[in-house]
Amino acid sequence: MARRMKDIQPFHVMAILARARELEASGRSVIHMEIGEPDFVTPAPILKAGQQAMTQGLTHYTPATGLPELREAIAGFYQDKYGQSISSKRIIVTPGASGALLLTLGVLINPGDQVLMADPGYPCNRNFVRFMEGSAVGIPVDGATQYQLNKELIEENWTDSTVAVMLASPSNPTGTLVSGESLKEIAAFVKSKNGYLIVDEIYHGLIYDEEYNTALAVSDDVFVINSFSKYFSMTGWRLGWLVAPDAYINGLDKLAQNLFLAAPTTAQHAALAAFNEDTKAILDKRRDEFKQRRDFLLPALRELGFKISGTPQGAFYLYADCSAFTQDSYQFAIQLLEDEGVAITPGIDFGQNKANTHLRFAYTTSLENLREGVKRIRAYLA
């Protein structure tokens, strides 16, 4: 196999999930707090639009950059939600945020180029960089910077080989944000180095307490990755988008033609209903439910002895220090699943920085299940 395959790790959570399914198949009850997707089904108005597209026989390819009317709808979303005027020509519809990451890194990264990112962080990011024969540089972060990079960390780690910085706000696995102030400083620094700034905003919409804005408000030079998966509850549809600087659109289009031809057609037609008032009402209710879950789970885990820094502001994850209980979080996760039927994700899926003493808890299951989960964890720790 190609050399890159040795450097690309499988997700350990997949083993946890597979074992959880086995236990369930044998009749055991499992509380799923490992899964990185909303438990909610896609909202009815989106489903209906997808079904109508099928009835109308809309089953052929769309342009590689996506349906023009969907690109317009996404532009409208930036206007309505963030007050940002973004030309639809700068928006490329992709097969999931995965497709947007592949395009972005494909267009920007040469072999040997370094890309800075927070550790812990979304594991695919470093693997995408490796896939392009680049070098992902994980910078250890902790609660002191809300688990995010800042200008100082980036400056310290920037080398002659560094070409780009990847941020995620909110972050997976920590749920924390990059502040607008920090983003401005980072963008200015990266620009001063003629580097690229890539910002993952796929959990936007799932932010619970504060006002927030898109990185596009700070700079037109940024590459913003987004997705219909999380806030819009459309994981299985494989639909995301990318907002890129004008100068890169032709290159991105050319790469999209070659790498995936186009995003799924039915999904694109369905997503036209994602910005309806009806849909928004459903989604905002779901966001409120996620907030309730966070507001239950955060103090409950702390009370059990897990340490969680600050109040994670978004996504549906809590990243918890479990050093009071174990120095081997993977083993802890396996044992907790075997003994009590609670599935969680070990820190090693997110990097190397204190990964063995951290766990990710996803609140992608009902309050009732979360209560039961906490009860079982308490029993396990007793």
Using CB under 8 A, list all residues that contact a second copy.
Answer: 1-5, 8-11, 14, 37, 41-42, 47, 50-51, 54-55, 57-62, 95-96, 98-99, 102, 106-111, 123-124, 127-128, 131-133, 233-238, 248, 250-251, 253-255, 257-267
67 or 300: whose CB is closer to a second copy? Answer: 67
**115, 165 contact by CB (below 8 A):** yes
CB 187 → a second copy: shortest distance, Å?
A: 20
114 or 235: whose CB is closer to a second copy? Answer: 235
CB 235 → a second copy: shortest distance, Å?
A: 5
CB 163 → a second copy: shortest distance, Å?
A: 9
CB 109 → a second copy: shortest distance, Å?
A: 6
The 8 Å CB, 24+ separation contacts for 273-276 are 273/45, 273/46, 273/48, 273/49, 274/43, 274/46, 274/73, 274/228, 274/232, 274/234, 275/73, 275/76, 275/77, 275/80, 276/45
174 or 229: whose CB is closer to a second copy? Answer: 229
Q: Residue with structure tokens 């990451």?
A: 101
12 or 376: whose CB is closer to a second copy? Answer: 12
Cis bond before residue 140 (omega within 30° of 0): no
CB 253 → a second copy: shortest distance, Å?
A: 8
255 or 297: whose CB is closer to a second copy? Answer: 255
1 or 144: whose CB is closer to a second copy? Answer: 1
CB 382 → a second copy: shortest distance, Å?
A: 34
**226, 203 contact by CB (below 8 A):** no
Listed residue (288, 366, 377) closest to 340, CA to CA: 377
Please list, in sequence order, all residues whose beta carbon lies within 8 angstroms of the beta carbon of residue 351, skipping any fewer than 6 positions away. 119, 120, 121, 123, 126, 138
What pairs with residue 137 in β-bridges?
116
